[in-house]
Chains A and B, each alone.
Chain A
Amino acid sequence: MIYKEPMSENEDPHVKYETHLWVEKYGDYLYRFALMRLKDPQVAEDTVQETFLAALKNLHQFDGRVDVKYWLRGILRNKSVDHVRKSVRRKELQDEQVQEVVGQLLFKTSGIPTTRPKDWAFDPDAAFAQEEFWEAFKGCLDALPEQTRLAFQLKMVDEIPTEEICKELDISDNYLWVTLHRARAQLKTCLESKWSAA
């Protein structure tokens, strides 16, 4: 890790962190990230702009310990979560559905699922090497309902701790767990239809 001197009183953070280069250096990168998370190009663009403005507002708090790029990406991720939380007014699953799935799988009590899934002759190692597989995977991910997709991305791709996700999305951990279970089931079905070797 590169240790950076703490900023002196007089140093202008705009100069120190080269804010005049942000759009040129990070704009497209952030835009692509926003597209991955939010899909809609207009929403993605607006969110990137919001991210820059929020970052400027909090520039005095930035300590330079991570690259500016990743700091901006973190802000953008939070903005995406906010957006989804606002746009999905109703939870995508009802509480009864959550109870039902929890009951079916009985994970918490014995660790033994009562429903046995069918075999899935899918070989990750063989599939992962193929570009077409990831196109299919991305297509399937995009096809998930917004909240389900975001939960999957936060937990499985970003590896954000469960407690944080539950707080951010304002859901219980059972709810998150069932959401992830559903995401897997839907992804599996989708992959089976889109990608013949799955």
Chain B
Amino acid sequence: MFLTCKQVSNHLSKEDYAKLSPFRKFTLKLHVLICPVCGKYNQQVMKFQDMARTFRKQEEDFLEDDRPESPHLNEDSKKRMAELIEQDKAS
């Protein structure tokens, strides 16, 4: 149940924190919260891993956002690409 500082930093330096089991995450969080030695540094590392995880969802929303004001390929480029695909099909 109790992790050493070394185990904590091993998990965090592999950046795999977000993928750990809920129990492992909990023990990790607890250690980082109370440990005077590695706590502060690793709290920040964990904040970034949470942030990146959430950002991933944000990115997906941005990619799917098809409103006129979001970025689009221009029509000429689309036409050119469609023609290239057509050519490939013919060959």
Contact mask B8-23 → A, CB, 8 Å, 1/0? 1110011100110000
* CB–CB B59/A157 < 8 A: yes
Contact mask A170-198 → B, CB, 8 Å, 1/0? 00000001001000100110000000000
* CB–CB A31/B51 < 8 A: no
Residue from the list B6, B45, B56, B85 in contact with A52, Cβ < 8 A: B85
Q: B interface, by DSSP: helix, strand, loop or mixed? A: helix
Provide the residues of chain B in CB contact with A71, threshold 8 Å.
Answer: none
Q: Shortest beta-carbon distance, A10 to chain B, in Å?
A: 16
Q: State the interface size on chain B (CB cutoff 8 A).
A: 49
Q: How far is it, in angstroms, between the C-alpha of A128 and the C-alpha of B56 when the chains are bound?
A: 12
Closest to B42 in A: A113
Q: State the interface size on chain A (CB cutoff 8 A).
A: 52
Q: How far is it, in angstroms, between the C-alpha of A137 and the C-alpha of B62 when the chains are bound?
A: 14
Contact mask A82-117 → B, CB, 8 Å, 1/0? 000000000000000000000001011011110111
Q: Is B81 an interface residue (CB 8 A)?
A: yes
**A interface residue numbers (CB < 8 A to B):** 14, 19-20, 22-24, 27-29, 31-33, 35-36, 41, 45, 48-49, 52-53, 56, 105, 107-108, 110-113, 115-117, 119-120, 122, 124, 128, 134, 137-138, 141, 152, 155-159, 162, 177, 180, 184, 187-188
